[in-house]
């Protein structure tokens, strides 16, 4: 389980100069080139972001580029649909960790969440969590809030808790919708104080990020990290 307890949200913790440590600087566009990925890594090192989050093919590249920077390497599993068998997600997660990922963001079986099949959700997440934790990494669980009712969101968060995940995460940014203050607050209430909550999808400004943190987020996933820390308005999604 993560040792990232919910921080007390003081004004200093959400100012542009310190909010960088909440941000997973994200590049998940399928057409991203090696030059694009290296640029994101350089930005993350310059601004002191928490991690760089990329597709699995770029994990080794990111790990090398970030060496000595203190910035973590994050990758995704079952992304962006979540509709792959559990053993495939496990294989993918294990490979990402072996390649150097410190953190893995997995997409749940969204159909199981909509069917309110908590057992299937828990089994899926547990298997991936075991693979990720065996490699010394942490697991964030993407529940894709825009596709779920409030009851289904709570059910998915509950499954993540039971499965031993370290974080729950709002969205991929690819399936319509994104993070909302209401969803972050619901997720925080459901998982309690000990799990991380990651708000991702549509967080494009300092005000957006501050609102998410005030609602209970302990991590922000964004492709607009530089705009956020500069207090500007970022552009579109991942």
The catalytic residue positions are 105, 169, 198
CA atoms of 112 and 109, how far apart (whole Å): 5
Asked if the bond preceding 54 is cis, omega within 30° of 0, the reply is: no
Could you tell me if 20 and 220 are in contact, meaning their C-beta atoms sit under 8 angstroms apart? no
b/e code 198-234 from CB counts within 10 Å (16+ = b): bbbbbbbbbebbbbbbebbbbbbbbbbbbbbbeeeeb
For residue 204, what is the DSSP state? Answer: -
Alpha helices (runs of H) in the chain, residue ranges in sequence order: 16-19, 34-47, 59-66, 86-99, 110-114, 118-134, 150-163, 181-191, 206-215, 225-230
CA atoms of 227 and 59, how far apart (whole Å): 24
How many angstroms separate the Cα of 5 from the Cα of each of 9, 109, 220?
Answer: 12, 27, 15
CA atoms of 97 and 75, how far apart (whole Å): 9
Residue 35 structure tokens: 């030059």
DSSP string, 72-113: EEEEEESTTT--S-HHHHHHHHHHHHHHT-SEEEEE--HHHH
């Amino acid at each position: 389980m993560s040792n990232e307890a919910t921080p007390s949200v003081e004004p200093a913790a959400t100012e542009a100069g310190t909010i960088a440590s909440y941000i997973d600087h994200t590049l998940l566009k399928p057409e991203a080139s090696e030059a694009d990925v290296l640029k994101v890594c350089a930005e993350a090192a310059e601004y002191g972001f928490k991690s760089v989050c990329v597709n699995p093919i770029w994990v080794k590249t990111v790990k090398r580029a970030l060496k000595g920077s203190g910035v973590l390497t994050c990758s995704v599993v079952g992304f962006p649909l979540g509709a792959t068998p559990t053993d495939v997600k496990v294989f993918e997660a294990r490979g990402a960790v072996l390649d150097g990922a410190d953190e893995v963001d997995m997409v749940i079986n969204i159909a199981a969440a909509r069917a309110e099949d908590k057992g299937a959700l828990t089994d899926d997440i547990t298997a991936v969590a075991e693979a990720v934790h065996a490699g010394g990494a942490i697991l964030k669980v993407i529940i894709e809030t825009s596709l779920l009712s409030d009851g289904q969101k709570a059910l998915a968060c509950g499954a993540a808790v039971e499965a031993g995940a370290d974080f729950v995460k709002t969205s991929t940014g690819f399936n319509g919708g994104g993070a909302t203050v209401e969803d972050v607050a619901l997720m925080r209430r459901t998982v309690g104080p000990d799990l991380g909550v990651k708000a991702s999808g549509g967080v494009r400004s300092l005000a957006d990020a501050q609102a998410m943190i005030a609602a209970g987020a302990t991590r922000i996933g964004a492709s607009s990290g530089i705009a956020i820390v500069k207090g500007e308005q970022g552009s579109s999604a991942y």
